[in-house]
Chain A
Amino acid sequence: AQTVTQSQPEMSVQEAETVTLSCTYDTSESNYYLFWYKQPPSRQMILVIRQEAYKQQNATENRFSVNFQKAAKSFSLKISDSQLGDTAMYFCAFMKHVGTAGYALNFGKGTSLLVTP
């Protein structure tokens, strides 16, 4: 079974500071994709960043970057220069195969991030 574990239910960070959200996963596949999604209080899920497992280089998207450790099956998200608008639930997700040619996302339980002034 492929599982995604986010061990931090809640986190808080001050504006302009850096915060790291952790995620571990379990899979027997060698090639896969990992994602971080953000779900603000308005509830629409937004893709933050994506990592292909075959790429050793860590993905970055502006203030968001990941630390991907394939051997350790770890996929943490770093948010630099935190902004009030970063307040949201953050979900780590593993893309799993379903059926013969499909993919679906397997989500962790999420980390609620609060950015304070």
Chain B
Amino acid sequence: DTGVSQDPRHKITKRGQNVTFRCDPISEHNRLYWYRQTLGQGPEFLTYFQNEAQLEKSRLLSDRFSAERPKGSFSTLEIQRTEQGDSAMYLCASSLAGGGQGSYEQYFGPGTRLTVT
């Protein structure tokens, strides 16, 4: 079990460019979550997947954001036409659905820090 991994760890981009982040969850976890954390704040929920299905999106996820989990394994989060307000840490987490006491525990990756200049 290697934990949740995210790539890249840091991304600097110019306003207006598109960026894509990747998350690899813990291998047996079927739920995957994306959160955004700005400086001095707790993480805020963006969206989540159960297997390959995207089941919920926060109103924070504008139409410039899109997330996929094509085969129910890794996930990508794309931001189109980035804005300075998109600068944040993007966190991925995974959990195991299906009952049991551990199914509500989310395990987080190290995050991708995005800086839009």
What is the interface of chain A, defined by CB distance below 8 A to chain B?
Answer: 4, 33, 35, 37, 42-47, 50, 52, 91, 93, 95, 98-110
| Residues of chain A within 8 A of B89, CB atoms compared | 43
10 closest residue pairs by CB, A with B? A107-B42, A99-B56, A45-B108, A104-B45, A98-B56, A99-B55, A44-B110, A33-B104, A91-B42, A102-B55
Query: Which residue, A4, A100, A101, A102, has most C-beta atoms of chain B within 10 A?
Result: A102
Give the distance in Å from the alpha carbon of A95 to the alpha carbon of B40 in the complex: 21
- A107, B50: Cβ atoms closer than 8 Å: no
Q: Does B91 contact A (CB under 8 A)?
A: yes
CB nearest to A99 among chain B residues = B56
B31 to A107, Cβ gap below 8 A?
A: no
Q: Distance (Å) between the CB of A70 and the closest chain B CB? A: 17
Q: Interface size class for chain B?
A: 20 to 34
A-B contact count (CB 8 A): 65
B110 near A109 (CB under 8 angstroms)?
no
* Main SS at interface, chain B: strand
Main secondary structure of the interface of A (DSSP, over half): strand
- Alpha-carbon gap, A102 to B97, bound state (A): 9
A-B contact pairs, 18 of them (CB 8 A): A35-B105, A42-B110, A43-B89, A43-B110, A43-B111, A44-B110, A45-B43, A91-B42, A98-B45, A98-B56, A100-B55, A102-B50, A104-B45, A104-B56, A105-B33, A105-B35, A109-B41, A110-B40
**CB proximity of B6 to chain A, nearest CB, Å:** 10
Report yes or no: A105 in contact with B40, Cβ–Cβ below 8 A: no
Q: How far is the CB of A97 from chain B (nearest CB, A)?
A: 9
Q: Knowing A102-B31, A104-B33, A104-B45, say if A95 contacts B104 (CB, 8 Å).
A: yes
| Bound complex: CA A98 to CA B93 (Å) | 15
CB distance from B41 to the nearest CB of A (A): 6
